[in-house]
Amino acid sequence: MITNGAQLIAHDDPLLRYRGAVSLQRGPCWTAPWRLPHEEAALYLPEGGTGRAAMPSGVRVTLRTDSPWLSCRYEADPAPRLNGPPERARLDVLRDGRRMATVDLETHGGDAEFRVPGLTGLNSRGGVAGRRYANGPPTVELWLPYYHRFRLRGLAVAAGATVAADMHADQPHWLHYGSSISQGRGAVSPSRTWPALVARRAGWDLTSLALGAACYLQPMTARLMRDLPADLLTVCVGINVHTLGTHNGDSLTAALIGFIRTVREGHPHTPFAVMSTIIAPEREELAGPSGLTVRESRERVRHAVRLLRDHGDQRLHYLHGPKVFGASCVPLLLEPEGLDRLHPSPAGHPIFAGRFLTLLRRMPCVPVTVSPECGPAHLVTQRRIGTKETKETRAPKKVKEARE
C-alpha cells in the first residue's frame, strides 16, 4: 500500500521477520513478540511475572530495503518497578549490522511514531535515490526494547523502494537462558546488551529466554529449549536461585542435572555452556532464603556439570561467572554502593560480552565471524500520533570501553 509518498508495511506483513521471538501475539492492529509461547505463559510462570516474557529482549524486526528512510508506528508500556536506576525505553535501528540510530521511545501505552533518515546515506526526503546493491538491498533490523513491552503497529518506507524478506537462514542459532543480567538490565540500548553484542560479533542468530527474577530452572523452560532450534546452548544460572530461595544446595544440583538432560533430549550433541553467576558483592557470603550463598551456588553448578561430563556429556562445559565479570568489575556494576549490586552497567556490558565470547571460543562450538563496526547514529525525529509535538533526540555516545 502506498500513501502520501510512503509505502506502508503492516505489522503482520509476511515480509517482516521477528527474529528471536518464540511466539507472536496478534491484536487488531498490532503484533507483540513474546519470548515464551504467549498462550501458555502462565504454565511457565505460574506465580506471575509473565510480563517479562513479553519484553522483547534480543528480538529484531527485520526486512531488506533500499529505502533512504524508515518510520515506525508502535505502542510501548512503562518498565516495571526496579531496584536501582530506571530503564529507558530504547530501540536501535541497524543497517547491515551497523547501528544507524538509537531512538528513545514513548511509553504511555498508546499510538506513537518515529522516523529514521539517512539509512542509505543518500537523499532522505522521500524518493529513492536509485542506488544499486550488488547483493540486493541492505538488511534493516529494529532491535526492540529489552525491558519494556512493545507492540508494532506498522512500518513505512519510501514509495518505490524495494522491500524484501530477510532470509539470513545460514546464521547459527544461539539459544540462551538467564536472569535479568542476561535480559539486558543496565545496557545503554537493545543492540548493546551483552548477549546482543556477543551475537552481533559472532554472527549468531540469538533467541534469548532470559527473564528477570524468573531463572530458576523451570521444567517448562527446559522443554522449550529442547524443542527450539539451536546450534549453541548457554545457560547462566544462580542469582535468582539465591535471591528467591528456590533451591537449596542439593536440590540445585539435582534440578540443573534434570534441566540439562531435558534440553539434551532435543539437542544431544549441541555445544552447551553453563555459567554460574557473576560477582554479587553483597551476596557472596550471604545466605539466601534457602540457606545457600552465591559462592556455594557456583560450586553446586560446577558439580552438576562435572557429574554430567563424567557420565558422557563431553560437549557440556562450565564457565565460572567471576572469570567473565568478577571482583575487578565491581566498579562496572549498575547499582551504586549501598544497594544490592547485581547487574553490569552500560560500560560493563561490552566487557562482559568480550570475556564471555573469549571463553566460548575455547570450547568446541560454532564458527565465529566478526560483524561490522557500528557507525555514528543519526538524529531521530519522533512524534506522538494525534499531536503536533515532536522531539529530537540523539543516541547516547558510545561508552569508551564498548567495541561494537
The CA-based dihedral angle spanning residues 252, 254, 256, 257, taken in that order and rounded to the nearest 10 degrees = 160
Which class is domain 1-120+136-167?
Answer: mainly beta
Residues 6+ apart with CB under 8 A from 48: none
Q: Which ranges of the chain have pLDDT less than 70?
A: 1-3, 121-134, 169, 365-404
- Where are the domains positioned within the chain? 1-120+136-167, 170-367
| pLDDT score recorded for residue 135 | 75
pLDDT at 136: 84
Size of the chain, expressed as the number of residues it contains: 404
The per-residue pLDDT for 271 is 95
Which pLDDT score is estimated for 131?
A: 58
First-residue to last-residue Cα distance in the chain: 36
The per-residue pLDDT for 120 is: 79
Radius of gyration of the chain (CA): 21
Look at residue 374 in the predicted model and tell me its pLDDT. 40
Residue with cell 547485581: 342
Residue 215 exposed, middle or buried by CB count within 10 Å (0-12, 13-18, 19+): buried
CB contact at 8 A, 94 and 143? yes
**Assigned CATH for 170-367:** 3.40.50.1110
DSSP code of residue 203: T
- Predicted confidence at residue 1, as pLDDT, reads 47
Instruction: Give residue 315's identity as a one-letter amino acid code.
Output: R
DSSP letters, 309-320, are: HHTT-TTEEEE-
